Structure 1
Amino acid sequence: MAAAKPTLTDSLSFCLAQLTAAAGEVLGGGKDTATNETPLGRALLALRTRHVKAAGGIERFRARGGLRPLLALLRRAAAAGPAPSQAGPGSAPSSVESATSAGPAPSPGPAPSAASSSTPSPPGRLRKTLDLALSILANCCTEGACRAEVRRLGGILPLVTILQCVKTDSIQNRTARALGNLAMEPESCRAIHSAGAVPLLVESLTACQDSQCLQSVVRALRNLADSPQHRLALAQQGAVRPLAELLAAAPDPALTLALVRALLELSRGCSRACAEQLSLGGGLGPLVSLASHPKKAVREATILILANLCAQGLVRPALGNAGGVEVLLGELRRRRGPSGAGPASQQPLVRAVCLLCREAINRARLRDAGGLELLMGLLRDPRASAWHPRVVAALVGFLYDTGALGRLQALGLVPLLAGQLCGDEGDEEEEGREAASWDFPEERTPERAEAGSFRSLRSWLISEGYAAGPGDISPDWSPEQCPPPPPPPEPAEPASPTLGPTSLRTARTLRTPGRSPAATPEEPWGREGPALLLLSRFSQAPDPSGALVTGPALCGLLAYVTGSPGPPSPRALRILARLTCNPACLEAFVRSYGAALLRAWLVLGVAPDDWPTLRARPARRQHRELGEMLLQNLTVQAESPFGVGALTHLLLSGSPEDRVACALTLPFICRKPSLWRRLLLDQGGLRLLLSALTRPAPHPLFLFFAADSLSCLQGLVSPTVIPALPPPIPSDLDPPSPCLYEPLLGPAPIPAPDLHFLLDSGLRLPAQRAASATASPFFRALLAGSFAEAQMDLVPLRGLSPSAAWPILHHLHGCRGCGAALGPIPPPGQPLLGSEAEKALEAAGRFLLPGLEEELEEAVGHIHLGPHGGPESVGEVFRLGRPRLVAHCARWTLGPGQCPRKRALALVGLVEAAGEEAGPLTEALLAVVMGVELGGKGSSLEC
């Protein structure tokens, strides 16, 4: 088959020459365009079908200068239409440059739709020329370099003029397509807006019937919504309502996709105008229906549109009535599922669901659709921590929904709220005034930072005639100091008060419904405000103990009160006071060790995070006063007839854990001697507590609480008796007693030794037989009896080291307090078990030297339990198992004036040292608490 014969139109040069000639005729004004219409049409057709569509064809067309005559040809078409009525010769925007065009460009502007509707259709040949030229231009504008060239040559204004003057569907389609391609760049987008194209495109939406043309117009509007300012301009010029009406008319699938994509762009940062038009256009119902569309692109775009609309309070009730609540909840639940998307895709849905909680009708729908469980799941998810403040603020909407509050409490909301009080992650995002609840639309105000109480007060002042208008009153207004009103602002610049960050924090308040606006007190409303409000609501229940009087809830409240950088919210203090004054909470405070926690955290300044490390964080005076006040509230409840019965029941009939908790708590909240004596002494509460020390701890701070409780009980039993402490350590200024053994050690001993003791190491120690025999029954039998050693001058002492033998030889020769007993004692921080001190004590017992044993024990106490000793030494001393040292350890642990942290650490060491043999420790602590000695001396109180 022979190849096709080449034609003139196969040459790009020929086609460009025809295009240039056609443009030049018009610009020169000397020829009839009808004579050259057919060659021009063939050239344009070849350019569109072959040259521009070929690989690299658009770039060659631009490089050969084809855009200039093509735009000149379009100006010719624009000049052929009727002159616009709105723009004059100087009205072209500065961004549309036409200085480099081939001739004087006309300056038409957008005309009213009424004027353009009467424009007759162009002749068929001119319409074909326009179709081809616009198609070529639209294809060229798919490349960035061509878009920049068209903008430089001033090609946007002719397109807007054609859109205004020629109402043929095909020409409108290609013009809208070219404008849509140009709008892909911000500079061109601004120029198109400035040229007045938006009203013409909106008019085309209602006038065109062709689906292809509508798709091009919709796409152009979508591309023109490239910034918040342009989206607002489109909505204000009525671009949203026609789109919604087209969507409600159930168009074909391609147009449906174009519509939802355009609405998605226009609804970003949804403005009031956008929401109103979409609702008035009947688009809410179709959008909800399209949320289940089989095509993924349509479905996802629709869901995001619904989420964007939730930013406007005026449309949320209608959206809920159309089924939007269920749709958004279902989609969020799906995305949070195992096969769902990541957190980024969930964020708009979380925001939308939280905003839906601001209206009562939507809260009811959300509650019935399982939204409470979904919100609780978000609060439990650490990956969603950035949204936690928003979720908590949304749950405030259910403040007076008793059923919802009960469900939230059952789902574990209270500990999560307590954890939010001091959380650092996430922050509640500020919403615009349009996002306010539509349940009270009259309270909408342009000032974002104004408090609810201030808004109500201002409305009341205006209604009563005290103020002429909103501008007369600022948030800093007060009746005592009422400055003259400022001059009215200019109409173009509405007044809004400027508040700093501090003012924003203090001015954000919550109005209590049902209260007079002028009587509503200002409540600080910081980041923790929503959580505190919900906790306060829970605390007002008849019996809030099950939810609020728990370890996590109390820890959260106390952490907020003590850790707040500024003054804590009075609401938190009221919650704590309300709980401690409620008789129904008394048993919960006992079971959860709440009273002990209040005392440790507020009065003593020891938080759970401070234990067991010794962090220097003294309790502040205001915290200490708060703790004492709360404990006094509990004391009032405990000493009432109801409290006495409750505590007696817990101690005698409760579970083992409850009985221990009751015994530990009683010294903190009972001040009546008859009550605590009966419960702790007569009915065995004290022994119950002591026996629980060596069991598994029921609370992380149990041993700290126990040490503090025993110390408090000791103060109750013996408020004026100070337990005996070890005698003071001899100072360097007080010379020790004279040593009677030292004269035997010199080169000329006086008197001369008549005996030597031989140690296992081979060391020989001199001694006096008579003095040694009278010091101990053991040595009397050994040296003056019938044993062979009585006749020996060198007596072996087996199993005795030199360090251990040194205090024994001194003691045998009458030394008392000469310092020899301090020799085998290791310094604090070194173990006593296996040391020379233990060997010396063992030898003193073996040789029947009780006086030496007591002296050695006192030396151990002086060194390890004196001013230079620490709580870690108490357990080491206890491990020696000496009764007097055990008593010393107990007295050191519970001694008056002892640091609470050191006291608790010492008790921990005692418990570890005691192990399973808790009897000696229990008896020693009991004796110290009761103010008696282990030998039976002292008070006659029995337990």
Structure 2
Amino acid sequence: MAAAKPTLTDSLSFCLAQLTAAAGEGPGGGKDPATNETPLGRALLALRTRHIKAAGGIERFRARGGLRPLLALLRRAAAADSAPSPAGSGSAPSPVASAASIPAPSPGPAPAAVSPSTPSPPVRLRKTLDLALSILANCCTEGACRAEVRRLGGILPLVTILQCVKTDSIQNRTARALGNLAMEPESCGEIHSAGAVPLLVESLTACQDSQCLQSVVRALRNLADSPQHRLALAQQGAVRPLAELLAASPDPSLTSALVRALLELSRGCSRSCAEQLSLGGGLGPLVSMASHPKWAVREAAILILANLCAQGLVRPALGNAGGVEVLLGELRRRRDPNGASPISQQPLVRAVCLLCREAINRARLRDAGGLELLMGLLRDPRASAWHPRVVAALVGFLYDAGALGRLQALGLVPLLAGQLCGEGGDEDEDGREAASWDFPEERTPERAEAGSFRSLRSWLISEGYAAGPGDISPDWSPEHCPLPEPSEPVSPTPSAAGASIRTPRTLRTPRVQGRSPVAAAEEPWGQEGPALLLLSRFSQAPDPSGALVTEPALCGLLAYVTGAPGPPSPRALRILARLTCNPACLEAFVRSYGAALLRAWLVLGVAPDDWPTPRARPVRRSQHRELGEMLLQNLTVQAESPFGVGALTHLLLSGSPEDRVACALTLPFICRKPSLWRRLLLDQGGLRLLLTALTRPAPHPLFLFFAADSLSCLQGLVSPAVSPTSPPAIPTDLEPPSPCLYEPLLGPAPVPAPDLHFLLDSGLQLPAQRAASASASPFFWALLSGSFAEAQMDLVPLRDLSPGAAWPILHHLHGCRGCGAALKSMPLPGQPLLGSEAEEALEAAGRFLLPRLEEELEEAVGRIHLDPQGGPESVGEVFRLGRPRLAAHCVRWTLGPGQCPRKRALALVGLVEAAGEESGPLTEALLAVVMGTESESKGSSLDC
């Protein structure tokens, strides 16, 4: 078959020449395009179907200068068609907005006559426009062409054509060209400035062709490239027609284009966007499309619903349309282990939290399992950036008793306590338009009212507590001002007559009288504000002990109070005061070691993280000590009331083993009446119970720290006159040594001459006086003056005795008392005592029946290893020697009134480790020192 004969239109040069001539820029310029329609039409058709679509065709067309005559042709055609003409396939054109902005056609010869079969000039012009616009739209798919069109001023002619020519095909191609140009921010701004948006919006309502509508929708979507442009589109009414088309369109392709456009327009959703989308009936279709079979449509619809939640005015209607259940279900699906990534959950988390600001949506969210979902977010460490937003959302349930009960059962309180000192999330602050829409007509000029306050006011009015919004000041809000909390909560049981419960002077809040507005200074409202507000609400329950008087909750509150960079919120202090003033919480404070924790953290300045290794933290302020003493005084008032005495007695006598130990440990902190603590700790065996528990597995990480502090406090109660100085049994100053009576025997000319030598295992011979040695102890009297063979020997062997251990023995035998010989056998502090010459000397002193030497050696051990300024690590070493007097020395060093709390606790740890399974000696030593008894028999008499 022969090849097709080449035609003139196969040449790009020919087509460009025809285009240039028709545009009035070539040799044939000035002619009316209608007179040369057939060559121009063929050239335009060839450009569109062959040259532009060929590989690299758009680039060649732009490089050969084709865009300039193409745009000039569009200007001429637009100007020629700007006059009214009979309607073609579309609506009648509207007049040009600004004739000055449109170049007039070049003058030329009069148009030639046309036969009746030739199309009318407007029809030919529109065909020319159709082809030229198609070529331009295709060229604008490349960035270089878009920049060239913008440089040549090609945007304004397109806007003119969009305004003048209402034919669907031309509107379609013009919108497509504008949409392609809008892919660059510079062109997008010029299109907005040229006034194209109202014309595109008009096309949405006037056009019936699906392809044309898709091009217009795409152009609007591309024009929404920035927050300013999205706001401009919404303010010019671009959203409502899209929503109406979405509600009426059965075309799947158009539906897909509509949801994509609405997704772009709803980013950072403005008030105008939300209003128009709601008025256009788009909420219901969007909710339905959340289950669309096509993933792209489904995803876009869900994200649009999430974006709409940023506007409070549309959230109630969104909830009525089923949006709450849709968003919760999608977030639950993405939270699934096999679901989407955490980043994709962020808009849904924000939307669900915003839905909590209206009462009607809170009810739907609660019924749909939203509380469990929000609690799951709070427990997830991967969602830590959203935790502050979630906690703020839960504030909306502040006055929903059912929801609060459910949240408490799900474990909200410890999570809130953990949030008090957590790091802030990455969420941005919501604007005023996101506030609750429960009371949209009431707005203060200074600041937007908090959503939870509107909910409270709504509830007060509905329940009849307030006649109208005017009865409650809009300047008062639970999110910014303290709640009217009583300084003394109602007690479930009567307190002791005349007992006063202390509250901080700075914690008092104004009382509400009748319906007068509350005039109170605003409290600090940082990121911890929502968590503190919810905790304060929980603390106002008749018995908040089960949730708040627990170790996690107390640790969170105390960590916030002591670790806040500035003054802590008075609400946190009121929570602690309210809990300690509530008799229903007394047993919980005892069981959870809460009183001991308050004393350790606030009064002594030792937090759980500081034990056993201290951490670098700011210097403890005196306010913390004052607060701790006040809280313990509140617990003392409760403990010494008839109700408290009964509760403590029941715990100590009938509680579980763990509760009995906790009660015995806590009593010295909260009982000041001698009759009460003596009866509970001594008569009813509380002290013995505590001492016995020291060598058992610790029921609390800080148990030994608490126990050391408790025993020290009890010792102060038993002996209040003891001054905070070191115990007298451990001398603080070294006395001058006495004259040595043994050294004269060691010289070359001893006076008097020794009549005896002791032979050690090492072969060393030590001189001695027989008479002095025999009179020193019954052992040596029997050995040297009795019927033993040694009585007739001048060289008496002493077995199992090293030279260092024998040195203090021989000094003592010859009458030395305090000459310093005992100190020479002592190892230095930090060196082990077990296996040392000091232990050997002590054992030999006992074996040789030298009690005075034992006392001297024990005093030397205490002087060197139990120095008041020494470390606690030596206490256990000394106790391991197994000497009763040294054990008492160790306990007195540990429980001394002036001892550092940390050293005291570390010393008790060493004592417990040294005692091991043989806890009897340690128990008796502690009992004797605490009670001030000197003999073991007195200590044993306290055993019950």
- Deviation at 1:789? 2.3
**Contact 1:267–1:309 (CA<8 Å) still a contact in 2?**
yes
543-552 vs 640-649, greater mean Cα deviation: 640-649
Please state whether the residue corresponding to 1:756 is helix, strand or coil.
strand
Change (3 A) 1:716 1:503: closer
Change (3 A) 1:243 1:108: farther
**Contact 2:88–2:123 (CA<8 Å) still a contact in 1?**
no
Please state whether the residue corresponding to 2:797 is helix, strand or coil.
strand
4-13 vs 544-553, greater mean Cα deviation: 4-13
Change (3 A) 1:358 1:616: closer
- Deviation at 1:53? 0.5
Query: After the TM superposition, which residues 440-839 of structure 1 pair with which residues of structure 2 at under 5 Å, given as runs?
Result: 440-444=439-443, 516-517=516-517, 519=519, 521-614=521-614, 620=620, 622-721=623-722, 734-839=735-840
CA distance in 2 between partners of 1:504 and 1:159 (Å): 81
1:358-413 CA-to-partner distances (Å, cap 9, x unmatched) read 00000000000000000000000111111100000000000000000000000000
Change (3 A) 1:101 1:233: closer
- Deviation at 1:166? 0.3
737-746 vs 930-939, greater mean Cα deviation: 930-939
- Deviation at 1:605? 1.3
Change (3 A) 1:132 1:2: same
- Deviation at 1:658? 0.5
- Deviation at 1:284? 0.2
Please state whether the residue corresponding to 1:275 is helix, strand or coil.
helix
- Deviation at 1:98? 16
**Contact 1:857–1:885 (CA<8 Å) still a contact in 2?**
yes
**Contact 1:457–1:517 (CA<8 Å) still a contact in 2?**
no
- Deviation at 1:630? 1.1
1:636-684 CA-to-partner distances (Å, cap 9, x unmatched) read 1111111111111111111000111111111111112221111111111
- Deviation at 1:469? 22
TM-score scaled to structure 1, two decimals? 0.89
Change (3 A) 1:259 1:747: same
CA distance in 1 between partners of 2:178 and 2:44 (Å): 20
CA distance in 2 between partners of 1:457 and 1:424 (Å): 29
CA distance in 1 between partners of 2:654 and 2:303 (Å): 60
- RMSD over aligned CA atoms reads 8.6
Change (3 A) 1:66 1:614: closer
Change (3 A) 1:205 1:306: same
1:138-167 CA-to-partner distances (Å, cap 9, x unmatched) read 000000000000000000000000000000
Change (3 A) 1:509 1:494: closer
**Contact 1:443–1:456 (CA<8 Å) still a contact in 2?**
no
1:222 aligns with 2:195: no
**Contact 1:456–1:517 (CA<8 Å) still a contact in 2?**
no
- Deviation at 1:517? 4.0
**Contact 1:108–1:161 (CA<8 Å) still a contact in 2?**
no
- Deviation at 1:760? 2.0
Change (3 A) 1:258 1:905: same
1:32 aligns with 2:29: no
1:418-464 CA-to-partner distances (Å, cap 9, x unmatched) read 01111124256311110000012134457558889999999999999
164-173 vs 731-740, greater mean Cα deviation: 731-740
Equivalent pairs counted in the alignment come to 937
TM-score scaled to structure 2, two decimals? 0.89
**Contact 1:23–1:72 (CA<8 Å) still a contact in 2?**
yes
Change (3 A) 1:118 1:178: farther
- Deviation at 1:916? 0.8
CA distance in 2 between partners of 1:819 and 1:748 (Å): 23
Change (3 A) 1:502 1:436: farther
Change (3 A) 1:809 1:727: farther
CA distance in 1 between partners of 2:475 and 2:33 (Å): 74
686-695 vs 425-434, greater mean Cα deviation: 425-434
Match for residue 851 of structure 1? Answer: 852
Match for residue 106 of structure 1? Answer: 105
- Deviation at 1:106? 8.4
Please state whether the residue corresponding to 1:506 is helix, strand or coil.
coil
CA distance in 1 between partners of 2:463 and 2:569 (Å): 33
Change (3 A) 1:814 1:617: farther
CA distance in 2 between partners of 1:553 and 1:481 (Å): 23
**Structure 1 unpaired stretches of 5+:** none
**Contact 2:507–2:574 (CA<8 Å) still a contact in 1?**
no
1:206-227 CA-to-partner distances (Å, cap 9, x unmatched) read 0000000000000000000000
CA distance in 2 between partners of 1:522 and 1:87 (Å): 69
**Contact 1:93–1:194 (CA<8 Å) still a contact in 2?**
no
69-78 vs 731-740, greater mean Cα deviation: 731-740
**Contact 2:377–2:387 (CA<8 Å) still a contact in 1?**
yes
**Contact 1:110–1:161 (CA<8 Å) still a contact in 2?**
no
**Structure 2 unpaired stretches of 5+:** none
- Deviation at 1:855? 0.7
Change (3 A) 1:671 1:359: same
CA distance in 2 between partners of 1:794 and 1:842 (Å): 23
1:810-855 CA-to-partner distances (Å, cap 9, x unmatched) read 1111111000001111111111111111111111112221111111
- Deviation at 1:478? 18
Change (3 A) 1:932 1:4: same
836-845 vs 312-321, greater mean Cα deviation: 836-845
- Deviation at 1:251? 2.8
CA distance in 2 between partners of 1:37 and 1:437 (Å): 64
Change (3 A) 1:278 1:62: same
**Contact 2:81–2:122 (CA<8 Å) still a contact in 1?**
no
**Contact 1:243–1:263 (CA<8 Å) still a contact in 2?**
yes
**Contact 1:359–1:438 (CA<8 Å) still a contact in 2?**
yes
- Deviation at 1:81? 2.7
Please state whether the residue corresponding to 2:97 is helix, strand or coil.
coil
Change (3 A) 1:475 1:188: farther
1:247-293 CA-to-partner distances (Å, cap 9, x unmatched) read 00033111011000000000000000000000000000000000000
1:70 aligns with 2:70: yes
777-786 vs 726-735, greater mean Cα deviation: 726-735
834-843 vs 21-30, greater mean Cα deviation: 21-30
1:111-148 CA-to-partner distances (Å, cap 9, x unmatched) read 99999999999722211111110000000000000000
**Contact 2:745–2:754 (CA<8 Å) still a contact in 1?**
yes
Please state whether the residue corresponding to 1:517 is helix, strand or coil.
coil
CA distance in 2 between partners of 1:598 and 1:774 (Å): 60
Change (3 A) 1:568 1:818: same
- Deviation at 1:59? 0.4
1:849-905 CA-to-partner distances (Å, cap 9, x unmatched) read 111111111100111112342211111111111000011111111112211111111
CA distance in 2 between partners of 1:494 and 1:203 (Å): 66
CA distance in 2 between partners of 1:196 and 1:505 (Å): 71
CA distance in 1 between partners of 2:84 and 2:491 (Å): 41
**Contact 2:358–2:455 (CA<8 Å) still a contact in 1?**
no
Change (3 A) 1:626 1:357: same
- Deviation at 1:26? 9.7
1:186-234 CA-to-partner distances (Å, cap 9, x unmatched) read 0000000000000000000000000000000000000000000000000
Change (3 A) 1:723 1:80: closer
Change (3 A) 1:77 1:355: same
